[in-house]
Homo-oligomer: A and B are copies of this chain.
Amino acid sequence: MAEAQKDLLDGNPLVLDSQEKELIRRIGVTVNYPKGQIIFSAEEVADRVYLIEKGWVRIYRLSSDGREVTVGSIRNPGEMMGLAETLYHGKRTCFAGTISDVTLVVVTKKDFLDVLTDEHYLALKVTRLLAARMREAEAMVHELVCWQVPSRLALLLLKISERCGIPDEKGRMKIKLRLTHEDIAGMIGTTRQTVTSLLNAFKREKLVECQGREIKILDPKKLASWIVD
């Protein structure tokens, strides 16, 4: 609650506001990607940044046995991506893949740096954005170290529903991302089987409901009570 209020005051640091987006659009090129496409891959030169206009993108790494580990989070419309690796010189260390049809604005590194220099308030925004993501990443490390899998899954569901969920008639959040259990496993550092059985346990307790691959949060409070440190 306090969090949401602060966001209202200072602006959500994760998403750009409309004039910031306009700035990016002016120096970039709009591109469409269908669902299931890879936008960039590890080892590529990180010479461009992206603004997500529409759709969702997953940032992940590949482990040696081929598992996809979502190290960042899912990037929403209005967010930028590819920032850290582009600002830090060098190559990409992760992959970006679309989990829905996506529209992006692509900006070259040079143009982006130029606009950061000219519009110093945008530079500050980018810095704050990285700071916010930094915190998230640190929280993730803490959770992986200290929490059991059920807690991590419960938190993930709550976080995703908050960020990408759409409320139904009764105000209950529905996650329309159509993630597979394997996807979810990669986001909380566990296996597909464990996600399946935990999700079924949550269903049995009427905390969530699944229609096809869409997940609806029925009882966020009780779900949150699964989070134990």
Contacts and interface: CB of A to CB of B under 8 A. Distances in A.
Interface of A: 6, 9-10, 13, 61, 63-65, 67, 69, 71-72, 83-85, 87-90, 93-94, 113, 116-117, 120, 123-124, 126-128, 130-135, 137-142, 144-146, 189, 229
**Number of copies of this protein chain within its complex:** 2
Interface centre among A85, A88, A93 (most CB of B within 10 A): A88
Interface centre among A6, A10, A90, A130 (most CB of B within 10 A): A130
Shortest Cβ-Cβ A-B pairs, 6 listed = A137-B137, A145-B189, A130-B130, A84-B131, A64-B229, A71-B138
Contacts of A123: 120, 123-124, 127
Nearest to A90: B6
B145 A69 contact: yes
Contacts of A137: 134, 137-138, 140-141
B131 A83 contact: yes
A189 B142 CA distance: 9
A136 to B, nearest CB: 9
Contacts of A130: 84, 127, 130-131, 134
Given A71-B139, A130-B130, 8 more contacts: A13-B88, A71-B138, A93-B139, A94-B138, A116-B124, A123-B123, A123-B127, A144-B145
